[in-house]
Structure 1
């Protein structure tokens, strides 16, 4: 038996008027999921422990079977693992976004507005040049910068402290003054980074092309070195992670899983869906027991508030990932259990994560069940009245013999 999780990050949502009162998951054309639903277990699961922030970090830890209350030490340390940063016990890691701030003439820095948490999903190549520019000004023995992926980068602060920092995607369209760091050095680096980046040649060219400038650093997600237990020792299953996002790669590295890099895997709407699916299938057919396929696109489209693209990302997940995986596993004559789910909702309404319970679909190719639902979506999962309170227990249902 092989085990597969296909996770559509932020896929769950709320009913939307322009979709006729349906959620994007209800509205999207998903023939593969439609065929699976009547043969599958469908219900709700709560992935965010009460009192914890609804992040992809805590949620994906739970989906992988790690209790966030026990294992979570901050988002950035997990990302540090993914890019090979060996944190010392005295190190604090901080997620370092390159964001887009407004640039009104004569407006003080503190009164600027955060327009885009991802700088138009800037390429890693361009972002690396911008990170080099701020490194030249700020880096020393205490503060060290590391390039990540797209707009997502890393600062290591030696002998730092875990301080409360605002997530930029929670405050789109808002004046930044209330959300700037209380730490004077971090605050100063953010202010000075705007002066360095706003008129950098790369941003001048981006503006000419009608793209959002990547004109300011934004620090958040501070944390200490993580200590995850081995996934294989915990479950008895060898596993692989397929994701474009450093956070997920970091969780996998911390859990001792293999990370498979897929060419053209971007974390955006136009990612290599089929490449991710085939990477998982090939790993499973060549000896691995478990594959985790993470697709970031629904979450990014939720943050952007783009209804049409969120629907499209779900349709891509259905036809270009789930269908490919099922077809290839059936063609190979391999028995498998498949879990499809988001990690958390990212509603178009608020353009950020919420803590609401999310729907999951669990399918066993050897034992199709007469399920309670005819379709897979939030409403039908809720109508079952079934809820797994602790998200980290769901993987036991997937791996149950």
Structure 2
């Protein structure tokens, strides 16, 4: 055990998870690579949990941060803030939400917490619909709408939460149905649920479930849900903390795979837009955003330095068509991973879209999740020079792969080869 690890254990909560038997201290990064304190170099396929979205040490972002830091670092929302207004203008346009208003936070948890505040105040109801296997943050309110048992440490809640089918396509009671019948069954379940409840405020859903193991419904499910929700006056919150900014390749936002009835009422974002800086936020149409009848501010949300980083990052992402790169290189990577895992009895499924890919591991010959195998592959991948993540439903048996969106074809091929060796070594 390293001295830093011992010091960490002495002052940190026991529930603060660390990857690896011998945890890593990352000291610097460049592009799609990072280095540890011992000088080892790794290809980064997890980006600090999908947060280093563009690249490590991206010159445009580091320059913007340094220049802004030389002017003013902090002011709070009590003062006019030019970078925040400029970023809000860009996000309002990109969101697709008409007459949009934007509120900045410091994390996805806080963004979702704010969305819940808005929805419950607007609808005057503390009842929330959420998806099974979901994850929305670590605050008291967001834990209470998290449908993933491994990340929900208490049943106490300020909200009444009811869980809906549909977030996981290949498991559960509707798994064997065709996509069309799967959607029909989930819609029927939602209709039945609403027939037994009182005025829910909103449905919150991740278009692709992140911590849940990169699972997603067939395209069009949330459009079908929207018809039902609109009829009952229930808002739709799209949690885009992991799916936003083009990561899925096919779309800029995850909700656009379900766009038949237009954008969500509320959209939340975070993680990648700051490329490592602490940025989150909420977008909602003015009627919903302005429903609060009390004062509020944000001390750190939308700070000049994080907005400068975000503006530079967003400009780079759009100018270099990183959504298109996610589609092209991500498509190649998922096919390579399917190829190298095809003969493995421990791999149940390789799924995903764009640069958001999950490999679900099971005990060979069964459909039973195998978190020990996932942990072993994580270790073996590290030994081979590759960093990945893990997640999944009630057990962390899914390898999570989400590199920076500038990933090259050569790096995708290299990562797939290391993963193939890691799966073999762990098996």
State TM-score, norm by structure 1: 0.27
Instruction: Return the structure number with greater relative CO, CA threshold 8 A, min gap 6.
Output: 1
State TM-score, norm by structure 2: 0.26
